[in-house]
Chain A
């Protein structure tokens, strides 16, 4: 709770922004004093309704989270005894070049896919927001890749990327470009992963932006038109600023998603060639379930968790700062 300085601006914002109920029925019972029967009934009902979720979250989320920290301080193969080794896993990670490569790959992948995905999603939304024949059908078709499993998407593109008989390389050589060894060279493999995950994600970005566009009042455009805001100016001075919260949400959502990308990479490249498409989660999976170094994998998990957590705190701070600006 912050102490509210009763300045005019603050009060105006407060009444506008916090007018919505903050949760919970406004009880007409005395807040302090003896808990009466009605209050007891409400507590009981609340606990009964919440308990299945609380049990599930305790057993399958909170305990595993705590255990992840615990395992990360041990050497453990998944069978037999765990051996306490303190911070050795973390010290080994610090000097593990594959880990650093995986972190670099993850960051690089995120830095490339997020802006591309946002731009294409926005483009599709702007295009399909206006009245045109068959609009609903085009929207639905753009969304189709979103509902397809990552494994199936990977297989579909495995065929398209085939170095000899794949249609992409036929297209390339057909117009005089050199054939690309999609799975054989590091850069091409990373590009192939980016192409597939972008293909999968455009529909989601489009739908989120469409709902954002719906929230822009038409009068703004009419007023803008009077002031000469048409074409690109209309976009830069009205649409884009009004979409800022939508963009912000999508950036956060996409960054978190790109730190978790797994199935497409698993099918398409298995992290290779070498370590050129090894991302953090691939590396954790490989260490834990192929190399049977569960303690080491848990330590990588802790690091992923810390990164996502720091990022979440940062975006939360940023969004609050922006709201109050």
Chain B
């Protein structure tokens, strides 16, 4: 049976060779807008609540639009808690993690993809086999190692253990496998050493890989919770997610300031996403299936 909507006046709008009638396009658009509105409502409600007083929030039903704009929900907790400090910690940890993850994974990924050295395949399999180890499985001894290295409450205690994550290495190796051997051999014939070939021929070709690695490492480390929660016990050393969960107990049911701080904590990530969202989407496609 052919739905009548499919045959009447096919428009030029087509993908995969499927004609769509104007009515179908409009129906799809309506469903999309409705779906996005539902998905975005919690975000709107966070911002709306962040500007409300406790009185306004207990006045049922809570009005959909703010009746007053209570900016002190943002100002007062910012002053009362080391929020700027948490922000700085998060930025430092994310920046260090991204830089080191990139350096380690690009080098190792290239070695595992293109260079022959003893035990190469065994080592790669060993590393890849850890791809699915949940952090919670190894956190007890990892915690002990961090204590032994005297890294409790330090930035390095958060950063270093999470560098041992096979995802980036796997991604990098897959990407380098796709670079033709002929290109590398040509550079070698021209007299470039292996390291020189890597740094001046291969790396400049790796911008899509680097973009995807930067974006995902930044996102994962910025949002990371359980590991910083364990390593950072001093409130001054907290990252934003850890600080945020600390604020839950401080504000209890005083939702205005709590949601103001929640919004502030996700704002940097939202800005990064707004600027680079095209790469986020491409990055998932690349890492997910290739």
Contacts and interface: CB of A to CB of B under 8 A. Distances in A.
The answer on A and B forming one complex is: yes
Interface stretch (B68-76, B205-213, B279-287): B279-287
A305 B137 contact: yes
Contacts of A53: 104-105, 107-108, 127, 169
Interface string A141-156: 1111101111111011
A152 B241 contact: yes
Contact of B60 (A41, A170, A281): A170
A50 B112 contact: yes
A263 B36 contact: no
B241 A142 contact: no
Q: Which of A53, A56, A302 has the most CB of B within 10 A?
A: A53
Interface string A55-87: 011011111110110110000001000000000
A90 interface: no
B198 interface: yes
Contact of B25 (A24, A132, A150): A132
Given A48-B195, A305-B133, A147 B269 contact: yes
Contact of A156 (B16, B45, B198, B289): B45
A194 interface: no
B2 A231 contact: yes
B83 interface: no
B269 A45 contact: no
Interface string A105-149: 000000000000000000010011111111100111111110111
Contact of A54 (B62, B123, B242): B123
Contacts of B127: 53, 57, 61
A193 interface: no
Contacts of A52: 103-104, 107-108
Contacts of B123: 50, 54
A136 to B, nearest CB: 8
A67 B263 CA distance: 40
A83 to B, nearest CB: 16
A207 B281 contact: yes
Secondary structure of the B contact surface, majority rule:
helix
B2 A230 contact: yes
Contacts of A42: 115-117, 194
A289 interface: yes
Interface string B237-275: 000111011001000010100110010011001101100
A155 B116 contact: no
A68 B138 contact: yes
A251 interface: no
A212 interface: yes
Contact of A60 (B20, B29, B134, B145): B145
B192 to A, nearest CB: 11
Contacts of A93: none
Contact of A127 (B32, B40, B116, B258): B32
A62 to B, nearest CB: 7
B133 A130 contact: no
B219 A170 contact: no
Interface stretch (A9-17, A218-226, A317-325): A218-226
Contacts of A152: 241, 244, 262, 265-266
A50 B117 contact: yes
A211 interface: yes
A144 B262 contact: no
A249 interface: yes
B45 A159 contact: yes
Contact of B13 (A124, A130, A225, A246): A130
B80 interface: no
Contacts of A59: 145, 164
Interface in B152-198: 160-164, 166, 169, 177, 181, 184-185, 193-195, 198
Q: Which of B33, B103, B139 has the most CB of A within 10 A?
A: B139
Contacts of A284: 136-137
Given A142-B36, A256-B134, 13 more contacts: A23-B113, A46-B120, A56-B104, A138-B33, A144-B39, A147-B266, A155-B262, A165-B58, A214-B285, A221-B17, A285-B136, A297-B140, A301-B137
Interface of A: 20-21, 23-27, 39, 41-50, 52-54, 56-57, 59-65, 67-68, 70-71, 78, 124, 127-135, 138-145, 147-153, 155-160, 162, 164-165, 167, 170, 174, 199, 202, 204, 207-208, 210-214, 216, 218-219, 221-222, 225, 230-231, 234, 245-246, 249, 253, 256, 259-260, 262-263, 266-267, 281, 284-285, 288-289, 294, 297-298, 301-302, 304-305, 308-309, 312
8 contacts: A50-B111, A142-B39, A149-B225, A167-B62, A210-B281, A263-B225, A266-B226, A301-B136
Which 3 A-B pairs have CB atoms at the shortest separation, nearest pair first? A46-B117, A45-B194, A211-B285
